[in-house]
C-alpha cells in the first residue's frame, strides 16, 4: 500500500514537472470535460465493436465475445513506459472507478509499447487488479478502427490516438472520444456522466 502511494506520487510529480517545461503552455495540458472527435475514424455511437484478438500481459488471447455481458470502458492509449500524461490518466481512471465494480475497464496498447518498464509500472501500482491490460498485435485493431497515429516518431510506432469508448453489454458503442493531442485527456467525470445517462 505504501509502495503504491509512493509510485502514485512519483507519477504525479513527473506530470507536474512536465507541466512546467517550456515546450508548451501550462494551460495547454491536463484533463478536460469536453468530448472530442479530432480524428476521422471508423467509430460511431450505435456501431458494434468489430471482431478482435488481443493479448493480456500473460499472453492469453481475448476476443470481442470475452468483453460481452458487461459495461466496458475501453481505452486505447500510448505507452505507460515513457508518457507521463498516459501514466497520470491511468492512475486517475483507477482511482475514480475503484468503487464501480460493474464497469469493466480495458486498457489497450500497441504490442510494441509493452515492455519490462511498462509491466513494472503496472505491477508496482497494482493496476492489473482493477484494469485489464491488452496488447494489440501489429496494431491491427487500432488500424481497423482508424485511430492509428499517422507519421509517428520512432518511439510512437503503432501507437493509437488517445481513444475512449463505452460499450454496453452487447458490445455496442455508446460513447466515443478520439483526440489528436495527448496533452489533453478526457476527464473521468465526463465518462461518469455518460454512464449515468440512459438505462444501459
The residues with which 181 forms a beta bridge, in sequence order, are none
The distance between the two most distant Cα atoms of the chain, rounded to a whole number of Å, is: 46
Q: 13-27, pLDDT tens digit by residue? A: 545 544 444 444 444
Q: 78-123, pLDDT tens digit by residue? A: 989 988 999 999 999 999 999 999 999 999 999 999 999 999 999 9
Query: If you search the block for the grid coordinates 475501453, which residue do you land on?
Result: 74
Q: Domain residues of the chain, as ranges? A: 2-196
Q: Give percent of the chain with pLDDT exceeding 90.
A: 76
Q: Which residue has the higher pLDDT, 54 or 154?
A: 54
The CA distance from 129 to 103, in Å, is 13
Is residue 199's pLDDT more than 80?
Answer: no
Query: What confidence score (pLDDT) does residue 144 get?
Result: 97
The residues with which 61 forms a beta bridge, in sequence order, are 55
Query: What confidence score (pLDDT) does residue 200 get?
Result: 72
The architecture (CATH level 2) of 2-196 comes to 3-Layer(aba) Sandwich (3.40)
By three-state DSSP, how is residue 111 classified?
helix
The CA distance from 185 to 29, in Å, is 8
Are 148 and 108 within 8 A, CB to CB? no
Query: What confidence score (pLDDT) does residue 13 get?
Result: 55
Q: 126-146, pLDDT tens digit by residue? A: 999 999 999 999 999 999 999
Which among 167, 162, 160 has a CA at the least distance from the CA of 194?
Answer: 167
Give the orientation angle of helix 84-96 with respect to helix 2-20, to 10 degrees: 130
Residues 154-169 have a mean pLDDT of: 95
Neighbours of 5 (CB within 10 A): 10
Mean of all residue pLDDT scores within the chain: 88
pTM summary value: 0.84
Amino acid at each position: 500500500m505504501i509502495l503504491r502511494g509512493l509510485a502514485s506520487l512519483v507519477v504525479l510529480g513527473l506530470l507536474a514537472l512536465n507541466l512546467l517545461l517550456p515546450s508548451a503552455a501550462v494551460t495547454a495540458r491536463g484533463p478536460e470535460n469536453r468530448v472530442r472527435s479530432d480524428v476521422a475514424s471508423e467509430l460511431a455511437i450505435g456501431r458494434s465493436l468489430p471482431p478482435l484478438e488481443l493479448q493480456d500481459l500473460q499472453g492469453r488471447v481475448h476476443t470481442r465475445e470475452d468483453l460481452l455481458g458487461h459495461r466496458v470502458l475501453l481505452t486505447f492509449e500510448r505507452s505507460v513506459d515513457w508518457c507521463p500524461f498516459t501514466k497520470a490518466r491511468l492512475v486517475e481512471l483507477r482511482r475514480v472507478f475503484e468503487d464501480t465494480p460493474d464497469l469493466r475497464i480495458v486498457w489497450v496498447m500497441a504490442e510494441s509499447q509493452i515492455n519490462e518498464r511498462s509491466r513494472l509500472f503496472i505491477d508496482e501500482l497494482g493496476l492489473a487488479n482493477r484494469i485489464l491490460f491488452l496488447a494489440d498485435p501489429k496494431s491491427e485493431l487500432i488500424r481497423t478502427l482508424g485511430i492509428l497515429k499517422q507519421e509517428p516518431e520512432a518511439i510512437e510506432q503503432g501507437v493509437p490516438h488517445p481513444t475512449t469508448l463505452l460499450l454496453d453489454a452487447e458490445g455496442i458503442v455508446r460513447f466515443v472520444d478520439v483526440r489528436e493531442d495527448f496533452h489533453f485527456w478526457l476527464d473521468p467525470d465526463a465518462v461518469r456522466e455518460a454512464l449515468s445517462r440512459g438505462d444501459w
